[in-house]
A and B are shown apart, each in its own frame.
Chain A
């Protein structure tokens, strides 16, 4: 564990909690892409199946359980409890154009052709593009609530910090995982446009198109 990974995990946890609380307190999921949240729930489910097969640490297990729990709770709030506030017309990204290619790629390019490893690879590739429906929705509506931009900032920051974590681990431990690194770079690059808008226009309230 290093500082980049710790802060990255906490930033990821913050993003997940911010979104869940925002929906719960405002009793509305307006402006939130339910499709992205479903993709994140799939990412966590396919990546954390090793919860059933191996114990790494209390921290690792707790975080995985929290991530999975919050992801499904968020999907539940969007599609069940507050479904009247779900803006389905603007959440129109064709996720099958993400899931199918990602699935194919996971079968073709992976570290080991085993069930758990292919699922893990699928979750890594899927996570790198899972935010696209949300960014697409914001570009269609042309606006985002401030709390939603904080959610996106924390979410984008987490994987950016993981990039530093991988540099750290390569330098100090000689460890690197090319699949995770390449997907992490793609994931972070997708946020760059948003990061620029978030930093340059934060606080004044803004309408922006990605």
Chain B
């Protein structure tokens, strides 16, 4: 779900 990926957006 959402938090698995790194938050690469500003």
Contact = CB atoms under 8 A, between A and B. Distances in A.
Interface string B1-10: 1110111111
A111 to B, nearest CB: 4
Q: Helix, strand, loop or mixed for chain A's interface?
A: helix
Contacts of B3: 111-112, 114, 117
B4 to A, nearest CB: 9
A107 interface: no
A50 B7 contact: yes
A180 B5 CA distance: 14
Contact of A67 (B2, B7, B10): B10
B7 A57 contact: no
Contact of A111 (B1, B6, B8): B1
A52 to B, nearest CB: 14
A111 B5 CA distance: 12
Contacts of A114: 3
B2 A9 contact: no
Size range of the interface on A? Answer: 20 to 34
B1 to A, nearest CB: 6
Contact of B10 (A64, A117, A177, A179): A64
A140 to B, nearest CB: 31
Contact of A63 (B1, B2, B5, B10): B10
Contacts of A64: 10
A120 interface: yes
Interface in A137-182: 162, 165, 175, 177-180
A120 B7 contact: yes
B10 A180 contact: no
15 contacts: A5-B9, A54-B6, A56-B6, A56-B7, A60-B8, A60-B10, A63-B10, A64-B10, A111-B2, A111-B3, A112-B3, A114-B3, A162-B9, A179-B2, A180-B9
